[in-house]
Amino acid sequence: MSSVAKKRKKHFLITAGGTREYIDPVRFISNESSGKMGYALAAAAQAVGHKVTLISASDMQPPVGIEFVGVVSATEMFTAVKKFFTGCDCLIMAAAVADYMPTRPCKMKIRKSTNDLTLKLKPTADILAWAVKHKHERRATSDRPRFIVGFALEDKNLRTGAEKKLTAKKLDMIIANTPESIAADQTAVQIKIPNGHWLKLPTASKRNIARRVVQLIDEETLHKK
């Protein structure tokens, strides 16, 4: 990375972990995301001098010196992203946000019975879509558009599914991986920007993958107007 890129410090807003959508006070819908990738990205961005705000639904210990915001549900994560989005230069949505939430969570524990139980679910807010819609809003520190990065977890047709998300959501970068990366210490990813070629990063520690991702973001935003 060039010395010029190193001097241009940014505010990274990063999400991590899998949200919990409560059915009743003791039961919830969630996923197996550990938050390791999001935490590695936060540490990597901080290591090269960027300011970092980490919004996390994970129970992991956050890196020292990083602004940390703990959340539980998709709704709480969306509220936190909107709060800190105004001052950020780059949003990385590494969190595995639930796609659905109970329409009416029960206030009391649901008692077991011999009857079938039907849960009515509704879609959660699309945080990435909201961020892209507001990426050009001016802020005090810069009039550049924010750089928006999304993740795509695909169990088949990896590049096809990820590129569809990149285009449909009008992202600046998509990072694609497979279910094998969930909760693992190592991962392999494929990265693409609009009108660019796919970049395949072979299996490595999430820490090393995160360093490369932050480097790529710095390179992409160096001359981006």
pLDDT level of residue 125 (50, 70, 90 thresholds): very high
CA distance 193 to 174: 7
Total count of residues recorded for the chain: 225
Match 């909107």 to its residue by tokens: 82
Listed in sequence order, the residues at least 6 apart from 182 whose beta carbon sits closer than 8 Å to its beta carbon are: 31, 32, 33, 34, 153
Report the 10 Å Cβ neighbour count for 157.
10
Give the mean model confidence (pLDDT) for residues 199-205.
97
Q: What is the pTM of this model?
A: 0.92
Orientation angle between helical segments 36-47 and 206-221, nearest 10 degrees: 50
CA distance 77 to 6: 30
Helix (H) or strand (E) holding 210: helix 206-221
Lowest mean per-residue pLDDT among 24-33, 84-93, 142-151, 181-190: 142-151
Q: What are the structural domain ranges in the chain?
A: 7-98+120-221
CA distance 225 to 220: 10
Residues annotated as part of the active site: 31
Q: Name the CATH code of domain 7-98+120-221 (choices 3.40.720.10, 3.40.50.720, 3.40.50.10300, 1.20.1240.10).
A: 3.40.50.10300
pLDDT for the residue 223 = 61
Between residues 122 and 139, which one has the greater pLDDT? Answer: 122
pLDDT for the residue 141 = 60
Report the 10 Å Cβ neighbour count for 22.
16
Between residues 14 and 65, which one has the greater pLDDT? Answer: 14
CA distance 118 to 102: 11
Between residues 116 and 144, which one has the greater pLDDT? Answer: 116
What are the tens digits of pLDDT across the range 9-33?
899 999 999 999 999 999 999 999 9
pLDDT level of residue 5 (50, 70, 90 thresholds): very low
pLDDT for the residue 224 = 59
Residue type, 57: A
pLDDT for the residue 3 = 45
Match 């892209």 to its residue by tokens: 132
pLDDT for the residue 221 = 86
pLDDT for the residue 222 = 78
Listed in sequence order, the residues at least 6 apart from 144 whose beta carbon sits closer than 8 Å to its beta carbon are: 89, 221, 224, 225
CA distance 12 to 2: 19
What are the tens digits of pLDDT across the range 171-180?
999 999 999 9
Residue type, 65: G
